[in-house]
Amino acid sequence: MKINEVVSLEFLAQMINGLSLGSIYALIALGYTMVYGICKMLNFAHGDVIMVGAYMLSVAMGMLGLPPVLAILLSMVVCACLGVTIERIAYKPLRNASPLAVLITAIGVSYFLQSSALLIFGSTQRKVESAINVSSVQLGELTIGGNALVTLLLTIVLMTGLTWFINHTMTGKAMLAVSEDKGAAQLMGVNVNRTIATTFLIGSALAAVAGVLFISSYGFVGPYTGAMPGIKAFVAAVLGGIGSVPGAMLGGILLGLIESLSKAYISTQLADAIVFGVLIVVLLVKPTGLLGKKRTEKV
């Protein structure tokens, strides 16, 4: 009985870990999936926006001495501007180019952000003090860390907000329309350029939040911090069905759970391999992801 309790308590703690990691992945995955839905492009530079967000937090709190909330807002604004600028300079001229050309450009942007960060901040990892100052909560025998709590709550709020925004505002509906059919949306009077810019703005702002949350639990930021969470979030987006907003949320949470449970119970080092293995198995069974739309091909 006792042993059972201990095991289940540890299991619950791991679940909460997984949920909070998963919500960070989900926030990043939303950026991938929204951009993919609208532009049909894999925005590989998205992972590095997280890194920029984390650096902005460290600059705002460490050097400018701003309070955490303002620092987070500043980092969101900077990342949103960065996202829109990247879209305008690098992706907009390629809107009718081959997907591969856009992919390579996105990789170029990713290298650009990484090497700029390397030049500005140096290659050593910086310690960042957590932006979240919430004490942990005791639920019976279970302790939930402040970071995990804030991450979960913030993610729930942001996701509800985003879902409402997409389904109930004109801009959101325009985004849905553009992702359905760009040409038809334009004929209906939707400003496609502005809609795409808005998508990048929202996606990058969410990435900034994800970066702040990630760095608050990880503690260090370096030029390549964004790469691995970026790839994992990308996998999460594909797992849920790329282009689908609920899919990205589901995929992100699932990925976080799988990762933290396999780290706890199977092997720390092989956790990544397990995550990617799950992706392959899921895609074999459902080739367009869990919630992805199945497109019938017309001849």
Q: Would you tell me which residues interact with another protein (CB under 8 A)? A: 36, 42, 90, 93-94, 96-105, 107-112, 114-116, 118-119, 227, 231, 234-235, 238, 242, 267, 269-270, 272-273, 276-277, 279-280, 283-284, 287-289, 297, 299
Give the nearer residue to another protein in terms of CB position, either 151 or 204. Answer: 204
For residue 120, the minimal CB distance to another protein (Å) is 10
The β-bridge relationship of strands 126-127 and 220-221 is: antiparallel
For residue 118, the minimal CB distance to another protein (Å) is 6
Give the nearer residue to another protein in terms of CB position, either 165 or 224. Answer: 224
Give the nearer residue to another protein in terms of CB position, either 84 or 227. Answer: 227
For residue 199, the minimal CB distance to another protein (Å) is 17
Give the nearer residue to another protein in terms of CB position, either 188 or 273. Answer: 273
* Contact of 22 with 257, CB cutoff 8 Å: yes
Give the nearer residue to another protein in terms of CB position, either 201 or 242. Answer: 242
For residue 142, the minimal CB distance to another protein (Å) is 31
For residue 160, the minimal CB distance to another protein (Å) is 28
Partnered with residue 220 across adjacent β-strands are: 127
Give the nearer residue to another protein in terms of CB position, either 149 or 227. Answer: 227
For residue 217, the minimal CB distance to another protein (Å) is 22
